[in-house]
Amino acid sequence: MEIEFLVNTCSLLFLSFLTIVYFTKKNALNIENKIYRIMLITNLLFLIL
């Protein structure tokens, strides 16, 4: 139980860092970036929930 909490916390921190870096950079508006943006947001929400 304790290791699962640690892994989830580290995953949340890492994904938060990736999300911040992604949204602070200027990106082209193509389909790959839109899909990646949706994947980042959904993964972040799933980790929080």
User: Residue 22 belongs to what domain range?
Assistant: 2-48
pTM of this structure = 0.76
How far is 41 from 44, CA to CA, in rounded Å? 5
How far is 11 from 17, CA to CA, in rounded Å? 10
Helix (H), strand (E) at residue 35: helix 31-48
pLDDT in tens, 6-46: 998 999 999 999 999 999 988 888 999 899 999 999 999 99
- Our count of domains for the chain comes to 1
Give the three-state DSSP class for 43. helix
How far is 15 from 12, CA to CA, in rounded Å? 5
What does the pLDDT read at residue 21? 92
What does the pLDDT read at residue 41? 92
